[in-house]
Amino acid sequence: MKTIIGNWKMQVGVRESVALARASLLLLRGKKHVPNFVICPPFVALSEVRKVVARSALHLGAQNISWEEQGAMTGEISARMLTEVGVTHVIIGHSERRQKLNETDTMIHGKIVKTLEHQMIPIVCVGESAEDRKQGKTKKVISTQLTNVFNSVRLRSKDQLIIAYEPIWAIGTGETPTVTEVKEVHSHIREILDLAFPNTAKERIQILYGGSVKKENAYAFLRESEIDGVLVGGSSVKINQLTDIVDAAIQVLEAQSI
Ligand code: PGA
């Protein structure tokens, strides 16, 4: 299976989100092999977008969640609020939130626990900075992030996880690591998760690549068996870009089914 996640960030309002959701839905229409496709609109658009994607193959994701169940948390959104509007996936620990809003591994851990508790799928972002990379610390930084955020997390038999490897220096910059570099980091992530969650079927933990994914490079990432999909930011709100990225996934799935 291949997964495509569209992270619409703070780029679109309610009306644009509905239009984008309709356009995204059309990309899957009539296709025999479709990727697991998750769209993550801003919170205010979730209810309206839900009406568009209801009873379709498109999944609805949120861009954040509170680690608390309920209470005096001005401006926060709880797991229950998200499930109420049909959310099945939640992006957690995006580097923009880690850097600009001081999110810590402890907060991210709490959000993962809450998401799983409410039977949603966490999309956990990890990745190194340009400086970490220069100093050859990529794998070490990622191991630390994973160990901290999954500390004492237990997966129940139906739980699923998505990890997005997103090098900070590749987000929104047009730069990407090579496919070989991504594969190397993905195997490292897989090893750590195998240790953290032994006896968990491989399919229940997907590892995606994110950072400047666009129509020109999507196929190269998607065709690799070690790369379970892509997390797309900027290109997910541009329908011509998104069309080619989804087509690349369909092409890979069709080739696999032969
Ligand atoms: P980008 O963003 O595709 O615009 O680089 C990816 C992300 O932040 O998830």
Indicate if ligand 1 lies below 6 Å from the C-beta of 175: no
Q: How far is the CA of 215 from the centre of ligand 1 (A)?
A: 13
**In Å, how far from its chain's centre is CA 62?**
10
Dihedral-angle region of residue 209 (phi above 0 means left; psi in -120 to 50 means alpha; beta otherwise):
beta
**Most ligand 1 atoms within 8 A of CB, residue of 7, 12, 40, 236 to mutate:** 7
pTM score: 0.97
- Closest Cα partner for 232 from 256, 216, 250? 216
Indicate if ligand 1 lies below 6 Å from the C-beta of 214: no
Indicate if ligand 1 lies below 6 Å from the C-beta of 232: yes
Half-sphere exposure of 101 (CA within 13 A, CB side): 11
Divide the 258 residues of the chain into consecutive groups of 10 and give the mean pLDDT of each group: 97 98 94 95 98 95 98 97 98 97 97 98 98 97 97 93 98 96 98 92 94 98 97 97 97 89
Q: How far is the CA of 124 from the centre of ligand 1 (A)?
A: 14
CA distance 87 to 158: 17
pLDDT at residue 199, rounded to an integer:
84
In tens, the pLDDT along 2-60 reads: 999 999 999 999 999 999 999 999 999 999 999 999 999 999 999 999 999 999 999 99
pLDDT at residue 202, rounded to an integer:
86
CA distance 149 to 109: 4
Ligand 1, closest atom to CA 173? 5
